[in-house]
Amino acid sequence: MIAVVAPIVGLGGRIVLWDINLSARPGELLVLAGPNGAGKTTLLRAMAGLLPGFASQDPRRVAYVPQGARCAWGMSVREVVALGRVPHGDDRAEPVEAAIVACGLASLAGERIDRVSGGEARRAMLARALATEPDALLLDEPTADLDPAAAHAMMALLRRRTAAGVCVVVVLHALELALHHATRLVVMEGGRIVADAEPEAALPRAALAFGLPYGLNPRAGLLPPAQGERYGADRSGDDQGR
Amino acid sequence: MRWLSLAVFMLLVASLLVGAAGIGVHDAAILWQIRFPRAVLAGLVGASLGVSGAAMQGALRNPLADSGLLGIAGTAALGAVVAFYWGISAAFAPALPLGGMLGAGLGCALLLGLAGSAASGPGLILAGVAVSALGAALLALALSLAPNPFALAEITVWLMGGLEDRSLMHLVVAMPPILVGISILLRLGRRLDGLALGEAVAASLGVPVPETLRRVALGVALAVGAATSVAGGIGFVGLIVPHLLRPALGERPGRLLLPSALAGAVLLLAADLLARVLPLLLPLSAEPRLGVLTALLGAPFLIRIARKVAP
C-alpha cells in the first residue's frame, strides 16, 4: 500500500496540490488523470517521497519512473535495467533478466539504450523499475511515446503485475487506456481530486475535466477535441473585443 | 583492466630507467632521489586527473565535464600560486598542496553553486566558464603583483605543468591527499550509475544526490588540488581518458572509475616519458613542458568530442 496525505502543497509560489488524501492498495491499477497542470506529476512525486516535506520511501519497495526518463550515457539496455538493483546493492541477475523478458526486451538486451526506438527505451525504463521488485510502481506517462498497440501492451503488462500484489499508480492522459485496464480512476483538476471511482463511474467527471464533449460512448474511445474547441471560450472573448 | 595495470607497471619501470642522465641506471641517487619521485608522481597525478574526469562526467551527466575545462584546475593553481607567492610554502612545505586543495575546493563549491539545479546541462558549462574566467583573472592579478620578474617567470613556467626536479618531499606532501581523494571518488561507482538516469530517478533509487555531488567535489578538490599543486597545470587528461575507455568498456559511469585512474596514470607516465626522451632525440634546449604536451594531445581530441556530442 502507498498513501499520501497533502493538505496543501505549494511550488514556486503556486498551490499545486490541495486537500489530497489518497492511498493505493495492493493489486490495484490506479490511473491518475486530469488536464495539464492538474497536479498529477506533483502528486506522484509526493507518493514517491521525492517532494520536500514528504516522507521518503524505501527505494527497495517503491519504484518511480518519471515522465521522459532517459539515460545520459549509451549504456546497454541490460545495464540500464540492472540499475533497478542499485537500492538493493546487489548484482543479482535473475530479477534483471526476468524484467527484461517481461518487457519483451530479450532480443535488445545488448543494444545501446540510445540506439533503440523511443518505445523500446520506454519499456527499458519500466523494466528498470520492475528489476527492483517493488511493492509499488509509480509511473508518469509511461505510454506517452508509444503507438496504440504498444500502449495497450504496456498497460496489460502493468495489469499482470497487479495480480502479483503489486500496487501500480499511473499518470495517463489517454482515457481509453484507463477504461480498458485500470481498476480505479482518480481524476484531478486544479490540484484537487475531483473523482475517485471505478473507471466507468469516474469517466464523466474525467471528460469534464479534460473539456471533452460529453456524451461520447466511452467504449468507442474518446477522441481528442477538434482544434480550437477546447480553447473556444478564449476565442469568443476575442471576438467580443473586436 | 589487467592490461592497464600492466601498462602502468611497465611505464613506471621505463620511467625509472630513462632520464636526463641517459638511459639505464648509473647512480642509485639519481634513481631514488630524482626518477623515483617523478615517476610515482606522474602516475598519481595522472590517476587523480583521470578518475576526477570520470567522476565529474558521471556525476554531472556531461561528457565535457573535466576539472580543467570547468575551472577547478585553474582555481587549484590559483591557490597554489598564492601559497607559493606569499612565501607560505617556503616556510611550511605542506602549504603548497593545502593551497591547491583549498583553491580546488572553493572552485568546486563555486561551480556547484553557480550551476545549481542545472548541473547537467549547458548551465554547468556556463558555470565552468565563469569559474575558469574568475580563476584566470585572479591568477593574472597575482602574477601582475609578482615581487620580481624572476618570481613571475618561475610561476609562469610552473603553471605550464611539469614534474622535473620533484623530490621525495613533494611526493610525501602530495601523496596522502591524492590517495584519499582518489579513494573517495572510487567508492562512488554505484551512485554515479544511479545518476545516469537523472537526479529524480537516482533519488528514487535511494541515491543521496546532494551528498553524492558534495563527495565528488571533495574528492576532486583533494585529488586535483594536490595534483595541481605538485605538477602545475596539466589539462585534458581527465577529459580524454574516460572517452578513450568508453568504446572498450561501455558507458556505465561506475565502471569507468578505476580504469580511468589507471589510464590517466598510463597517459601521464607516457607523456612524461616523452617529455624526457624528446631532448635526447631532438636538439631541444630543455624538456618540453608536460602541460604543453598534454594540451597538444588533448585539444584535437576535445574538438572530436564536441563534434560527436553536438551532431
DSSP labels for B223-288? HHHHHHHHH----SHHHHHHHHHHHHH-S-HHHHHHHHHHHHHHHHHHHHHHHHHHHHHS--SSPP
Q: Give SS3 for B65.
A: coil
**Is B227 within 8 Å of B48 (Cβ atoms)?**
yes
**B132 membership: H or E segment, kind and range:** helix B122-144
pLDDT, average across residues B69-95:
80
**Domain final residue, candidates A133, A151, A186:** A133
pLDDT, average across residues A210-223:
59
* Pairwise CB contact (< 8 Å): B198 & A69: yes
Cell of B278: 624528446
- Answer yes or no: do A117 and A183 share one domain: no
Contacts of A60 (CB under 8 A, 6+ apart): A87, A88, A132, A133, A134, B206
Following CA atoms B51, B56, B61, B63 in sequence, which dihedral angle do they give, to the nearest 10 degrees? -70
Residue A74 CB-density burial (10 A; 0-12 exposed, 13-18 middle, 19+ buried): middle
- Answer yes or no: do A111 and A183 share one domain: no
* Pairwise CB contact (< 8 Å): A73 & B120: no
pLDDT at B81: 85
Domain that holds residue A128: 71-133
Helix count and strand count (H, E) for chain A: 8, 8
User: Above 90 in pLDDT, residue A130?
Assistant: yes
pLDDT, average across residues A60-74:
91
Cell of A142: 509511461
* pLDDT one-digit tens code per residue, B15-33: 887 776 667 767 777 778 7
- Answer yes or no: do A145 and A231 share one domain: yes
**Residue B180 identity (one-letter amino acid):** V
- Answer yes or no: do A6 and A40 share one domain: yes
- Rounded distance, CA B233 to CA B73, Å? 7
Domains and CATH numbers, chain B: 2-9+26-309 (1.10.3470.10)
Residue A98, in any domain of the structure = yes
pLDDT at A204: 85
CB within 8 Å of chain B, chain A residues 46-85:
48-50, 57, 59-60, 62-66, 69-76, 79-80, 83-84
pLDDT at B11: 87
Residue A66, in any domain of the structure = no
- Answer yes or no: do A128 and A142 share one domain: no
Cell of A42: 506533483
- Answer yes or no: do A17 and A106 share one domain: no
- Answer yes or no: do A52 and A91 share one domain: no
**Domain final residue, candidates A133, A164, A180:** A133
Q: Would you call B248 an interface residue with chain A, using a CB distance cutoff of 8 Å?
A: no
**Residue B159 identity (one-letter amino acid):** L
- Answer yes or no: do A37 and A141 share one domain: yes
| pTM of the model as a whole | 0.86
Which residues of chain B have a CB within 8 Å of the CB of A50? 200, 203-204
- Answer yes or no: do A144 and A29 share one domain: yes
pLDDT-based confidence at A170, cuts 50/70/90? Answer: very high
- Answer yes or no: do A97 and A153 share one domain: no
ipTM of the prediction? 0.83
Which residues of chain B have a CB within 8 Å of the CB of A84? 205
Q: Would you call B200 an interface residue with chain A, using a CB distance cutoff of 8 Å?
A: yes
Compare all CA atoms of chain A with the CA of B60 and give the residue at the minimum distance. Answer: A72
Residue with cell 558534495: B214
**Residue A46 identity (one-letter amino acid):** A
* pLDDT one-digit tens code per residue, B176-188: 999 999 999 999 9
pLDDT, average across residues B241-260:
93
Q: Would you call A45 an interface residue with chain B, using a CB distance cutoff of 8 Å?
A: yes
Which residues of chain B have a CB within 8 Å of the CB of A89? 190
pLDDT-based confidence at A238, cuts 50/70/90? Answer: very low
Residue with cell 595534483: B227
User: Above 60 in pLDDT, residue A216?
Assistant: no
- Answer yes or no: do A114 and A142 share one domain: no
Among A92-96, B66-70, B236-240, the range scoring the smallest mean pLDDT is: B66-70
Residue A115, in any domain of the structure = yes
* Pairwise CB contact (< 8 Å): B194 & A73: no
pLDDT at A229: 40
Among A26-30, A92-96, B299-303, the range scoring the smallest mean pLDDT is: B299-303
Q: Give SS3 for A22.
A: strand
CATH classification at residue A56 = 3.40.50.300
pLDDT-based confidence at B100, cuts 50/70/90? Answer: confident
The domain tally of chain A equals: 2
Q: Are strands A136-140 and A167-171 parallel, antiparallel or unpaired?
A: parallel
Cell of B214: 558534495
Q: Would you call B203 an interface residue with chain A, using a CB distance cutoff of 8 Å?
A: yes
* Pairwise CB contact (< 8 Å): B198 & A66: yes
User: Above 60 in pLDDT, residue A234?
Assistant: no
pLDDT, average across residues A119-126:
91
**Domain final residue, candidates A133, A149, A167:** A133
- Answer yes or no: do A144 and A210 share one domain: yes
* pLDDT one-digit tens code per residue, B146-178: 777 777 777 788 788 888 878 888 888 889 999
* Pairwise CB contact (< 8 Å): B252 & A73: yes
